[in-house]
Chains A and B, each alone.
Chain A
Amino acid sequence: MIFVTVGTQLPFPRLIKYMARWAQSHSERVVLQTGDGSGFNGCEAYRSLPSDQFGTFMTEARVIVSHAGIGSILAAKALNKPIVVIPRRAKLSEHRNDHQLATAAALEGRAGLRVAWELDQLPAFLDGPIEPPEMALHPQFNQLVERISTFVGA
């Protein structure tokens, strides 16, 4: 199963339409979280999902396809799932600015994460296996927590 999620803030019709079309020519189940009310024939589509159901789909999926939102990336990592991200573009009115391009560029190359800069890069990522992300929180996480703890006085 492939779980496609665009987050809670804004719809992302470019990605949703592409994945709905992809699903029509493939037998694999595709579940869409769309962020808007539009239906997509033949696909299981939800505008938004309560967190337990979101977690269920994330867990069932073999790969997550998502906008380049940190929420999705962290959720995929927490569940040890590979993720393919597609950055939203401001010039297509997909977000207020291009920070998702910057996020994707900065995170590209991490284990378990692929960036589809253009939609036509997606099929190749969906066909091939992607390694799971590295589960362990890296030392940079501990250093950040250490700094905060020291300041707080915990």
Chain B
Amino acid sequence: MVRVLAVSSGGGHWQQMRLLSHALGDVEIEYACSAHVGDLKVHRLPDCNMRTPVQLVAGVLAAWRLVRDVRPDVVISTGAAPGALALIIAKLFGHRTIWIDSIANAEQMSLSGRLTRRFSDLWMTQWEGVAEETGAIFAGSVL
């Protein structure tokens, strides 16, 4: 069975990830989140964003450990920065990767999303306008 690692931040990022991953067919999914979600099976990542360099380093280390331990076939992220780091590291170690930019970014690709561009096998937005502007794939959206 295909092994998927689904990584996201809390709040809306996490809800989009749950909606999408629950709809996937026959796959084995491990989750990681940078917020507390009240489920012990979900791996915990430190929170960080692209404007806090020190925490980013901690985020990179945690993402590297996570990918090494889970050994996924595919890494999927709905953002934000912690998911982007996990995706980039996963790609560097030869795993397949999917970026789905949050539906919150209706006018432009998020900063995290722009960073994942070269590291994503499937680089997606949930808005047609953003797809036209950036060359990202638009296939649909959660709302």
A interface residues, Cβ below 8 angstroms from B: 7-9, 50-51, 69-75, 77, 96, 99-100, 102-103, 105-107, 110, 137-149, 151-154
Is B89 on the interface with A (CB-CB < 8 A)? no
Residue of A7, A8, A141 near B140 (CB, 8 A) is: A141
Residue of B12, B121, B143 near A151 (CB, 8 A) is: B121
B140 touches A151 (CB 8 A): no
Q: Which of chain A's residues have a CB closer than 8 A to the CB of B143?
A: 70, 73-74, 77, 107, 110, 138, 141
Main secondary structure of the interface of A (DSSP, over half): helix
A-B residue pair count with CB separations less than 8 angstroms: 117
CA distance in complex: A71, B74 (Å): 25
CA distance in complex: A74, B26 (Å): 25
The 4 A-B residue pairs with the shortest CB-CB distance, nearest first, are A70-B12, A144-B140, A143-B140, A71-B12
B132 CB to nearest A CB, Å: 14
> Would A144 and B139 be within 8 Å (CB), given that A74-B12, A103-B106, A149-B24 are in contact?
yes
CA distance in complex: A141, B74 (Å): 20
